[in-house]
């Protein structure tokens, strides 16, 4: 069984102060100790989840030349299709054994950000693909907003501290296809060990073995959620902001046993990013003599750009 703690978002959004405080304590403690939780009570319906998986499976089964037509040069893979093996983890040269799609923000009432973000790429072959992707994006963004409100209270901040920073934020929904493995991979895994760049990640599809997180002893632990749960983890931006009080845990997706090489794996992470102007300067509340300031001041936009260069998605 997974050693990742489970929490229920309905506790936080209930009108019961005791239940709300229980959720804050549970998720805060989990993110300080292992950096991951399995969350139920989110805003995704079963029907929406089913529709999304149906659409992404159809997309990844399209002919390669059709998929390739949705790979847009010059935007660092921020929207549309990214082909197999193109992304690698920080510090590695081997490409991960995956292909993926990116849905980005649906900006409202902000002309500046409409210019700053690339347009979403519309798939013409699949009638519902774009609509289902947008609805999933918005429900995961709504879920993330409440999780961050709980974390703000855990860090002794105003409950809505993050709200303005994540409204029209540079968040990404990434349906991933890990294709069947046809030959012995040379030093490559489905997703090499890495930490996420963003504030928090909400992951659909962690229902079978594959995703592993590294505990404080350096051991790899299986992270498995129930079908009705999302796996949520702290990203590097939130770790910086909290001066490492909240842990951005290294994790990986390992290759399956050889007898399962012939099967595909799908997962759908939502990377919650703020607007680029958000300062990631360590909070004064998280700095003391036992926990000196661990990071230089930087904005979210500058930090994201640094990391995209390290991942090989954009050139210097």
CATH number of the structural domain spanning residue 209: 2.60.120.330
pLDDT digits (tens, 9 = 90+) for 259-281: 666 678 888 999 999 999 999 99
Domain of 219 in residue numbering reads as 6-310
Neighbours of 228 (CB within 10 A): 14
Region 156-178: mean pLDDT is 95
- Answer for the pair 202, 273: CB distance below 8 angstroms, yes or no: no
Would residue 57 count as lying in a domain? yes
Q: Give the per-residue pLDDT at 89.
A: 45
Would residue 315 count as lying in a domain? no
Would residue 316 count as lying in a domain? no
Provide the whole-model pTM. Answer: 0.90
- Answer for the pair 232, 37: CB distance below 8 angstroms, yes or no: yes
Would residue 191 count as lying in a domain? yes
Beta-carbon contacts of residue 241 (< 8 Å; ≥ 6 apart): 199, 280, 281, 282, 283, 286
Would residue 129 count as lying in a domain? yes
Would residue 67 count as lying in a domain? yes
Would residue 19 count as lying in a domain? yes
Q: Give the per-residue pLDDT at 43.
A: 96
pLDDT digits (tens, 9 = 90+) for 33-72: 888 999 999 999 999 999 999 999 999 999 999 999 999 8
Region 244-271: mean pLDDT is 81
> In 44-190, which ranges are E strands?
80-82, 99-102, 172-173, 176-178
- Residue 187 pLDDT > 60: no
What's the domain count of the chain? 1
The distance from CA 257 to its chain's CA centroid, rounded to whole angstroms, is 25
Would residue 175 count as lying in a domain? yes
d(CA 277, CA 298): 9
């Amino acid at each position: 069984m997974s050693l990742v703690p489970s929490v229920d978002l309905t506790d936080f959004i209930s009108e019961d102060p005791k239940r709300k405080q229980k959720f804050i304590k549970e998720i805060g403690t989990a993110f300080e100790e292992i950096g991951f939780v399995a969350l139920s009570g989110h805003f995704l319906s079963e029907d929406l989840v089913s529709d999304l998986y149906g659409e992404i499976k159809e997309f990844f089964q399209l002919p390669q030349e059709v998929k390739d037509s949705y790979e847009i040069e010059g935007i660092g893979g921020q929207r549309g299709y990214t082909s197999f093996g193109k992304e690698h983890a920080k510090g590695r040269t081997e490409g991960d054994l995956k292909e993926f799609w990116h849905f980005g923000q649906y900006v409202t009432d902000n002309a500046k950000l409409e210019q700053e973000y690339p347009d979403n790429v519309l798939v013409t072959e699949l009638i519902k693909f774009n609509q289902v992707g947008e609805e999933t994006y918005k429900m995961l963004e709504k879920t993330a907003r409440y999780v961050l409100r709980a974390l703000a209270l855990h860090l002794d901040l105003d409950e809505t501290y993050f709200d303005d920073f994540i409204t029209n934020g540079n968040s990404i929904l990434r349906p991933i296809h890990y294709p069947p493995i046809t030959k012995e991979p040379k030093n490559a895994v489905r997703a090499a060990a890495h930490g996420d760049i963003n504030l928090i990640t909400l992951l659909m599809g962690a229902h079978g073995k594959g995703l592993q997180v590294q505990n404080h002893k350096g051991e790899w632990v299986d992270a498995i959620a129930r079908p009705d749960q999302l796996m949520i983890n702290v990203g590097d931006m939130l770790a910086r902001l909290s001066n490492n009080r909240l842990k951005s845990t290294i994790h990986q997706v390992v290759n399956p046993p050889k007898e399962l090489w012939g099967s595909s794996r799908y997962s759908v992470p939502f990377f919650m990013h703020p607007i680029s102007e958000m300062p990631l300067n360590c909070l004064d509340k998280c700095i003391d003599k036992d926990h000196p300031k661990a990071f230089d001041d930087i904005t979210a936009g500058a930090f994201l750009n640094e990391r995209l260069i390290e991942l090989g998605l954009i050139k210097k």
